[in-house]
Chains A and B, each alone.
Chain A
Amino acid sequence: MAGLLIIGSSQAGVQLAVSLRALGYEPEITLLGDEDHRPYQRPALSKEFLQDKITKESLIYRSQEYWDDHRITVVKGEWIERVRSDEGGAGVAFSATGREFAFDRLALAVGASARRIDTPGNELDGVLYLRTADDALELKARVSEISNVVVIGGGFIGIEAAASLHSMGKRVTLLEYGPRLVRRAVGEQTSEFIRAHHASNGIDIRTGAVAERIVGGADGRVAGVVVAGETIAADLVLVGVGVTPNTRLAEQLGLEVENGILVDRYATASDGVTLAVGDCSNLPNPIPNSPAGERVRFESVNHAIEQAKVAAYAAMGRQEEYGGMPWFWSNQGELKLQIAGLSTGYDRVVDRSPADPNKLSVLYYRGEQLIAADCINVPLDFMMVRQALTKGVNLPAEEVADPAVPLKSVLTAHDNPAARDNPAAHDTQGK
């Protein structure tokens, strides 16, 4: 039996394989990745791993023994050039090294790739991206030789890397072309809090700043970045300007793609049988009360995990709903940012930040409904909002404004099981 082939062995692919076995899926499972590493976690690449606080081993998801015990064949270092599927979703994948991987069913967990800039000079030695372990290893290898870093991109990757490199003694300038940092994921107050904090620590943060040109020295290595006519010294340029979903294989198969591989609520693509999960997938917004027909693409560990579980159920012939509410974390130096829910579409903000200048707690509402929170170094508020959102319990805006009032008491007061909407669909054991 050829079994299930999962192309992509990062968070979504790993979770899919793990969940399948937890559900009793019997056929062979092949978990295949193009990187020449055992399946590993990416988030720490811009954080503790870059800072040399953890080893590469810490990033590995599972021991080989685990994969063997669970009959999951892990294949690494195989780039799939071509995939062909026949009737019913079976087919063959062909790798660049000439190997063939037959499958009865295919799951695409192929993720997204770091978007490249086309700024003049971008091909100079020393212009780096940060998506993969190899990217991080290259960055780490150069760190001791460099003093000045220009980071292009004020999203999570850019800021995390900037904070890490700054903590390692580098002089860091961060360029964000938009009006504020992390524009897509947080509100204005949170953006400003983050900017002010890192700026006060000595990171030169410039918003509304476009890198016009990257200039090099005689050795072909990067020497500076030109912004508004000024040349900022740079021994290294780190680019973090977003990712684009990998849809090449899906397109070969004739699957519908648009800002990712289109899937239904059950992680199933337009052919009705191929699964697509994680950063590469574009799905109906799973958040309750979302506008009908609205589609989203989430780039987060939590999403990869939740959607992979849905896909595992689908492979077992079961239709289970996406569980829980989205959440996200970002560690930037001393800032521990935790985001519960999605703040898109908010029309009201309640600020219950404690007096501590290193702490922020902002709750977002749409009408009377709590929809999200940005919390920095206030993990308790994050946890409570996450619980409230997951349980479908609203925390009225008037009752949460006072930071002295614990959200737990508000949650308890309003958590009436009889009135509660559907709680999180899944209660899986910790596999």
Chain B
Amino acid sequence: MSKVIFTSSEGAVTEVQALPGDSVMESAVRNGVPGIVAECGGSLSCATCHVFVDEADLAGLPEMEEMEDEMLWGTAVDRQDNSRLSCQIKVCEGIDLHVTTPSTQL
């Protein structure tokens, strides 16, 4: 098991146990973590699962593919250097992740 620690735009922290192989989005939505909408259920079609990844964790993530990169230009809150779509981030065994959710996904 691993942990994903979600910090809201207002500083509220929610920690979830995450199954390796699940996406960060799935971990959030299944547990009802506020701040992630994921309207398209993880098919990279809606950009409503936007997160800002902690700098310390960012480097360890596989690079994003072109489609995710393009979709990130359409997020409700403007993208930053550490922006990712959480449906594309897979949880790995033994590696905890820390992300911040934007003030809105819509």
Seen from chain A, the residues whose Cβ lies within 8 Å of a Cβ on chain B are: 18, 41, 43-44, 47-48, 58-63, 65-66, 69-70, 301-302, 305, 323-324, 327, 329, 331, 336, 338, 379-380, 382-384, 386-387, 408, 424, 426-431
Contacts and interface: CB of A to CB of B under 8 A. Distances in A.
A428 B43 contact: no
Given A58-B26, A69-B32, A429-B35, A379 B71 contact: yes
B95 interface: no
Nearest to A301: B39
Contact of B32 (A66, A338, A383): A66
A354 to B, nearest CB: 12
Given A338-B45, A379-B70, A70 B39 contact: no
Nearest to A387: B74
B36 interface: yes
A60 to B, nearest CB: 7
B74 A383 contact: yes
Q: Which A-B residue pairs are the 9 nearest by beta carbons?
A: A383-B74, A329-B45, A430-B37, A66-B32, A430-B35, A379-B70, A41-B41, A429-B34, A63-B30
Contact of A382 (B31, B35, B43, B74): B74
Max chain B C-beta neighbours (<10 A), residue from A43, A47, A387: A43
Interface in B59-78: 67, 70-71, 73-74
A329 B71 CA distance: 13
Contacts of A58: 22, 26, 42
Given A48-B43, A379-B71, A380-B70, 15 more contacts: A43-B40, A43-B41, A66-B31, A66-B32, A69-B32, A70-B32, A329-B45, A336-B67, A380-B74, A384-B74, A387-B74, A426-B106, A430-B48, A430-B101, A430-B105
A338 B71 CA distance: 11
A386 B43 contact: no
A382 B35 CA distance: 23
Contacts of A379: 45, 47, 67, 70-71, 74
B43 to A, nearest CB: 6
Interface of B: 22, 26, 29-37, 39-48, 67, 70-71, 73-74, 101, 104-106
Max chain A C-beta neighbours (<10 A), residue from B33, B36, B48, B73: B73
A60 B30 contact: yes
Contacts, number: 84
B42 to A, nearest CB: 7
A424 B42 CA distance: 23
Contacts of B35: 429-430
Contacts of A47: 43
B50 to A, nearest CB: 10
Nearest to A47: B43
A428 B36 CA distance: 11
22 contacts: A41-B41, A44-B41, A48-B43, A58-B22, A58-B26, A59-B41, A61-B30, A62-B29, A62-B30, A69-B32, A323-B106, A324-B106, A329-B43, A338-B45, A380-B70, A380-B73, A382-B74, A383-B47, A383-B71, A430-B48, A430-B105, A431-B34
Contacts of B48: 430
B69 to A, nearest CB: 10
A380 B66 CA distance: 11
A386 B48 CA distance: 13
A307 to B, nearest CB: 14
Contacts of A305: 39
Contacts of B71: 379-380, 383
A428 B105 CA distance: 9
Contacts of A408: 73
A324 B51 CA distance: 22
Contact of A383 (B37, B42, B73): B73
Nearest to B22: A58
Contacts of B26: 58
Contact of A427 (B41, B43, B70, B104): B104
Contact of A386 (B31, B42, B44, B74): B74
A284 to B, nearest CB: 22
Contacts of B46: 327, 329
Contacts of B42: 58
Nearest to B28: A430
A77 B65 CA distance: 40
Contacts of B73: 380, 383, 408
